[in-house]
Amino acid sequence: MELAGIVGKPNVGKSTMFAAMTLAPVEIAGYPFTTIKPNRGITYLRINCVCKELGVKDNPRNSKCIDGVRFIPIEIIDTPGIIRKAHEGRGLGLQFLDEIRQASALIVVADAAGATDPDGNPVKPGSGDPVEDVRLVEEEIDYWLRDLLTVDWRKIVRIVESKVGKLEEELAKKFSGLRIDESAVRDVLHELDLNPSQPSKWSDEDLFEFVRKLREKTKPIIVAANKIDLPEAEDGVKKLKKAGYEVVPVSAEAERILRMAAEKKLIKYLPGDSDFEIIDDSKLTSSQRKALNLIREKILEKWGSTGVQEVVNKAYFDLLKYIPVYPVEDPEKLTDHDGNVLPDVYILPRGSTPRDLAYAIHTDLGKTFLYAIDARRKIRLGEDYKLKWGDVISIVAAGKRG
């Protein structure tokens, strides 16, 4: 399952967003370092399911389908707050970043309302700088990566300069636990024009620049500009966008309230919806009614949604450019071997082929892959066919169909 990490300065709303995404009961409080250990949970990407277009009733297995909306699970991790010099041990340090080494994307939560100082202490809204919230986190992660590399740097230099191994290979080996491969390493070495045969000549700045670029390439970030329910956030969102970040305006607290109200069957609301429906008005207390009306007026009508669903959707579908694909065994009935209609959805990087899909389902299926059928058009696909958004694919493998 894909993994996304939530990182950020203390007290910006990381755990609130995590709670809204997962409905897990986690600690939330208005002071720094409330979270001291990472929280893990499951959240979902939201897409329009192909069941509607194909006019079938589906029986999802690895995902959920609610009123024609498909929800695809991903793993999400909420982490403790990061402050400047965390890599030197300030605050809670950075050890906990080990837990998000495998993340495909990072969600950096910023306090768009500027209601916290650089250490996460509450201040008058509008006085904190949300752009600094993101920069400090990026830089601390870069120091963390640099320090990881520094531990083995002399060994790597020796291996490379005695021609026992190549720098690309050694660096890729070093970072393989971080989902960083040799081609990413090679690209960065090339872009920065760093000499791969004499790493002993690299300066400290070269090393830092190298990990910075490597991080940008392999762990793209999306900024969740939180607290848009506060008026000061409007300016903060603008500043973050101007700084060039991929920004989603968010109210984690509003999403948490809506999700909990939906869970209690007080309202009809799916994550990512632009409005909700009150199921039975007589069941609401007057303060609940007031809170819901405020959310509708101040967030949904103004910003289009609470933004929380958009954060993960944008990370996977825009930033990482993944596409959803539906594998089926029977291309006529669109079922698996148990007769479930459109049972599964997989998300794959754009440019993936049916063989890549087979490997994503199971290594054995990848190895025995023969060809694939486009179940919509009922045609056999060529070896180099690039999968498209919402493709329904039947894989034919040696010895079995899967």
Interacting residues with Mg ion (CB under 5 A)? 14-15, 34-35
28 binds ligand GTP (CB under 6 A): yes
The DSSP symbol for 111 reads E
Q: Using CA of residue 152, residue 158, residue 160, residue 164, what is the dihedral sign?
A: negative
d(CA 130, CA 239): 8
Which residue's CB is nearer to ligand GTP, number 149 or number 230?
Answer: 230
Q: Which is nearer to ligand GTP, 232 or 273 (CB)?
A: 232
Site stretch for ligand GTP (CB under 6 A), options 29-37, 281-289, 321-329, 337-345: 29-37
**Residue 128 Cα distances to 67, 84, 216, 242, angstroms:** 42, 15, 25, 16
Encoding tokens for residue 163?
């021609």
Q: Which of 58, 170, 229, 356 binds ligand GTP (CB under 6 A)?
A: 229
Nearer to ligand GTP, 218 or 226 (CB): 226
225 counts as binding ligand GTP under rule CB under 6 A:
no
Helices 182-191 and 204-218: crossing angle, nearest 10°?
Answer: 130
The minimum distance between CB 20 and ligand GTP, in angstroms, equals: 8
Is the Cβ of residue 213 or residue 256 nearer to ligand GTP in the bound state?
256
**Residue 213 corresponds to which tokens in the numbers above?**
């670029």
Nearest CA among 39, 16, 172, 13 for reference residue 96: 39
- 34 lies in the binding site for ligand GTP (CB under 6 A): yes
11 binds, among ligand GTP, Mg ion, none (CB under 5 to 8 A by kind): ligand GTP
When the beta carbons of 233 and 373 are compared against ligand GTP, the nearer one is 233
275: its two tokens: 């409005």
Phi and psi dihedrals of 70, rounded to 5?
-95, 135
Q: Kindly tell me which residue out of 138, 142, 253, 329 binds ligand GTP, with binding defined by CB under 6 A.
A: 253
Which CB sits closer to Mg ion, 22 or 352?
22
Instruction: Provide, for the chain, the percentages of residues in helix, strand and coil under a 3-state DSSP scheme, each rounded to the nearest 5.
Output: 40, 20, 40
| Shortest distance in whole angstroms from residue 76 CB to Mg ion | 13
Return the one option of Mg ion, ligand GTP, none that residue 30 interacts with (CB less than 5 to 8 A, by type): ligand GTP
Using CB under 6 A, which residues numbered 161 to 190 contact ligand GTP?
A: none
Helix (H) or strand (E) holding 341: none
Closer to ligand GTP by Cβ: residue 34 or 335: 34
Residues whose CB is less than 8 angstroms from the CB of residue 264 and which lie 6 or more positions away in sequence, other chains included = none
- Identify which of residues 15 and 306 has a Cβ nearer to Mg ion in the complex: 15
H or E segment and range at residue 114 = none
The residues that bridge with 74 in the sheet, in sequence order, are: 43
Residue 11 as a binder of ligand GTP (CB under 6 A): the answer is yes
CB distance 235 to 170 below 8 Å: no
Of residues 326, 324, 333, the one with CA closest to residue 57 = 333
CA 64 – CA 70 distance, rounded (Å): 6
Instruction: Identify each DSSP E strand in 218-368 by its residue range.
Output: 221-226, 247-249, 267-268, 277-278, 322-328, 346-349
Q: Which of Mg ion, ligand GTP, none binds 272 (CB below 5-8 Å, type-dependent)? A: none
CB 160 within 8 A of CB 152: no
Minimum distance from residue 257 beta carbon to Mg ion (Å): 18
Comparison of 5 and 80: residue with beta carbon closer to ligand GTP:
80
Enumerate residues 80-109 that contact ligand GTP by CB under 6 A. 80-81
Q: How far is the CB of 8 from Mg ion (least distance, A)?
A: 9
252 binds ligand GTP (CB under 6 A): yes
Number of residues that bind ligand GTP (CB under 6 A): 24
**Could you say which of 22, 35, 218, 394 contacts ligand GTP (CB under 6 A)?**
35
CB of residue 267 vs ligand GTP: minimum separation in angstroms? 18
CA distance 293 to 258: 11
Which residues contact ligand GTP by CB under 6 A? 8, 10-16, 28-30, 32-35, 80-81, 226-227, 229-230, 251-253
